[in-house]
Chains A and B, each alone.
Chain A
Amino acid sequence: MRGRSTVVDVSALAPGDHACWGFASDEARASMLAQYVHGGVERDERIVYLADGQAPDAVAARLAGAGVPVGYLLGSGQLLLLDARSALAPGGRFDGGAVLQRFGVAAAGAAAEGYTGVRTAADVGWLLSDSATSAAFLAFELQAGRVLAGSTMTALCGHDTRRCAADARTALAAVHPARAGDASDASFGAVLGAGGEVLVAGEVDLVSADAWRRVLAAAACEASEAVTLDLADLCFIDVAGLRAVAALAVAGTRVTLRSPRPIVRKCLPVLGVDALPGVEVQP
């Protein structure tokens, strides 16, 4: 069953993996990053770290302290340390499509240089602070999951839990199939399916309400006119969660609810969600 995220050991992350990573101190960040880099060295991958809140030099020093041969890796070009904001949002604007394109170019470049793949870690918490960027970034995360699957790329999306709102942390965890460190244990998960539909799993209630709204905003941003939510693995959703879905339809997005379980389906007529123009329920 598709489900919520599982806890992983970052050194064991392999091509195609997409994990959410939370850290609560610079030491914790350096130590987990060191493990991730080790895994990349063993696989002979190019390793890219996009740092935020800490200069690349400071990161390098901490990695060296954690036993990573930073000087050698930087000198050989196997490790790249970059500033996350200028790499992901040049000019202050995040463009998910452009970032995905650069991922592709980076993967091709790494392959041409003889690496087996590209292993990226990035600090992304700052992309969740305002709602428009949050929607665009989470939409990118949904896309990235699909692009990564079956590719030679690995991605670890980090955030400083001290500087990230609870609902932002939950939303970030929800769009990743795996989590590491202090990443939230989101009660629900959302990944993009082969047909562009959002596969929703787990439970949505009071605790995840705000994160759920963020993910829905991302789904609507991803496909601005029509969203398909595959609810086959959604075990529970409360009234507020369904009202958020209804709000999408009211705002003009066509919403298809596919395969809702009985516990979800029985609420739809009571709340009038199934009768809204723009909402289609498929068994």
Chain B
Amino acid sequence: VTLDVRPHPASRDHALVHDALVFADPASFLSVAVPFLREGIAAREIVFAVTSPANHARLVEALGDDAAHVEFGDPDRFFPRPGSTFATYRTFIDERLSDGAHARVLAEAVWAGRDADEVGEWVRFESTVNVVFADAPLQVVCCYDDAQIPAWVTDTVAQTHPTVCHGGRWDASAAYVEPERFIEELERCLDLPQPPAGAAALSVDSDLRQLRRLLRGEAERAGLDGDKADDVLLAVTELVTNLIRHSSGVGELLAWGEDGRFACELRDASGSRPPALAGYTALEVGQEGGWGLALVRQLADLVQVSGADAGSAIRLTFEAA
């Protein structure tokens, strides 16, 4: 395995470096991960690794004494869902990197056990971070285990990372797509499965009080506790408010419980969608839009936007547990 050692991006000290490593076996993982972490240790950077337990063990063994200089994170805590991972990164940047420190992160999201909907949102996450953390003094290598991830996700890696290491070679990704365009395409292609026949149809108008009362009943019937039901009311209120304020105001809301989850889907008859990157960037006091969606993205376990020809829809999913 040959490894092109890139120069340290000193000229990009305060800009995100977001690269991907697609590896076929533990050896090719370690051949990139270990030098990446050691470079950071030598440069006295904050060095972070969030990987699968197996790769964690391999790194500890390969790094030897150097492992003590690496902070290891638990992937379940770091990557429970895209919305809170943005918040986790933001807190990390604010708390640890505000004084000029630089960090490198070796990140391996765990794909096993995630359903297709979740995987789709993680793909979106990978594209979005390029914009949201564009100015962060972070160097991230996202690690993809070729054997574990769906083939279509592998295909997107080069579209969501400016540089990709494949088969031991780092290359600038010719397939990289600007996040806004990538997300719009992702939304256009997202075909949400039909809600079950028994889904409740709730009327969407300015009587949000009545809507919330009905929604709480539906959420609790689906097994959500009071706290989770609060999340539903807050998030759906923002979506309907946006529909009335920024779109046609004409739409329908479906709500249903399924497999320990509660889902709400707001369909916009006008077919318009929120801007691809709304609700992701750090909120500034004077900033006009994006606040409602920022709350939605934090509270819902899954936010899916679909712009299929039949009209647009935003589906929120909340876990009962």
Tell me the nearest residue of chain A to B83, going by C-beta. Answer: A270
Tell me the nearest residue of chain A to B298, going by C-beta. Answer: A270
Chain A interface extent, by class: 20 to 34
A-B contact pairs, 26 of them (CB 8 A): A203-B212, A205-B209, A205-B241, A206-B206, A206-B208, A206-B237, A206-B240, A206-B241, A206-B244, A206-B245, A236-B233, A238-B238, A238-B241, A239-B238, A239-B241, A240-B291, A240-B292, A243-B291, A246-B285, A250-B285, A263-B230, A266-B231, A266-B299, A267-B295, A270-B298, A276-B285
Chain B interface residue count, Cβ-Cβ cutoff 8 angstroms? 24
Instruction: Find the residue from A236, A239, A266 having the highest chain B CB count within 10 A.
Output: A239
A149 contacts which chain B residues (CB < 8 A)?
A: none
A203 contacts which chain B residues (CB < 8 A)?
A: 209, 212
The 8 closest A-B pairs by CB, nearest first: A263-B230, A239-B292, A205-B208, A239-B291, A270-B298, A206-B241, A238-B237, A207-B206
Q: B115 interface residue, CB < 8 Å from A?
A: no
Interface residues in chain B, defined as those with a beta carbon under 8 Å from any beta carbon in chain A? 206-209, 212, 227, 230-231, 233-234, 237-238, 240-241, 244-245, 283, 285, 291-292, 294-295, 298-299
Contact A205 B237 (CB under 8 A): yes
Interface residues in chain A, defined as those with a beta carbon under 8 Å from any beta carbon in chain B? 187, 203, 205-207, 236, 238-240, 243, 246, 250, 262-263, 266-267, 270-272, 276
With contacts A206-B241, A206-B244, A263-B234 taken as known, whether A270 is within 8 angstroms of B209 at the C-beta atoms is no
Please tell me which one of the listed residues B230, B237, B283 contacts residue A266 in the complex, with CB atoms under 8 A apart. Answer: B230
A263 to B206, CA, bound (A): 20
Q: How many residue-residue contacts, CB under 8 A, span A and B?
A: 59
Contact B291 A262 (CB under 8 A): no
Contact A187 B209 (CB under 8 A): yes
A205 contacts which chain B residues (CB < 8 A)?
A: 208-209, 237, 241
A239 contacts which chain B residues (CB < 8 A)?
A: 238, 241, 291-292, 295
Contact A262 B230 (CB under 8 A): yes
A270 contacts which chain B residues (CB < 8 A)?
A: 294-295, 298-299
A246 to B291, CA, bound (A): 12
Distance in angstroms from B129 CB to nearest chain A CB is: 19
Distance in angstroms from B155 CB to nearest chain A CB is: 34
A240 contacts which chain B residues (CB < 8 A)?
A: 241, 291-292
A236 to B234, CA, bound (A): 8
A276 contacts which chain B residues (CB < 8 A)?
A: 285
Distance in angstroms from B204 CB to nearest chain A CB is: 12
With contacts A206-B241, A262-B227 taken as known, whether A272 is within 8 angstroms of B295 at the C-beta atoms is no
B241 contacts which chain A residues (CB < 8 A)?
A: 205-206, 238-240
A207 to B212, CA, bound (A): 13
B208 contacts which chain A residues (CB < 8 A)?
A: 205-207
Distance in angstroms from B92 CB to nearest chain A CB is: 15
Distance in angstroms from B249 CB to nearest chain A CB is: 11
A272 to B91, CA, bound (A): 12
A238 to B237, CA, bound (A): 7
B292 contacts which chain A residues (CB < 8 A)?
A: 238-240
A99 to B299, CA, bound (A): 48
A206 contacts which chain B residues (CB < 8 A)?
A: 206, 208, 237, 240-241, 244-245
Distance in angstroms from B307 CB to nearest chain A CB is: 24
B233 contacts which chain A residues (CB < 8 A)?
A: 236, 263
Contact B285 A267 (CB under 8 A): no
B240 contacts which chain A residues (CB < 8 A)?
A: 206
A205 to B208, CA, bound (A): 8
Distance in angstroms from A140 CB to nearest chain B CB is: 29
Please tell me which one of the listed residues B227, B231, B283 contacts residue A271 in the complex, with CB atoms under 8 A apart. Answer: B283
A206 to B231, CA, bound (A): 17
A270 to B90, CA, bound (A): 12
Please tell me which one of the listed residues B212, B285, B294, B299 contacts residue A236 in the complex, with CB atoms under 8 A apart. Answer: B212
* Known pairs A236-B212, A239-B238, A267-B295 / 19 extra A-B pairs, C-beta < 8 Å: A187-B209, A205-B209, A206-B206, A206-B208, A207-B206, A207-B207, A236-B209, A236-B233, A238-B234, A238-B238, A239-B295, A243-B291, A250-B285, A263-B233, A263-B234, A266-B234, A270-B294, A270-B299, A271-B294
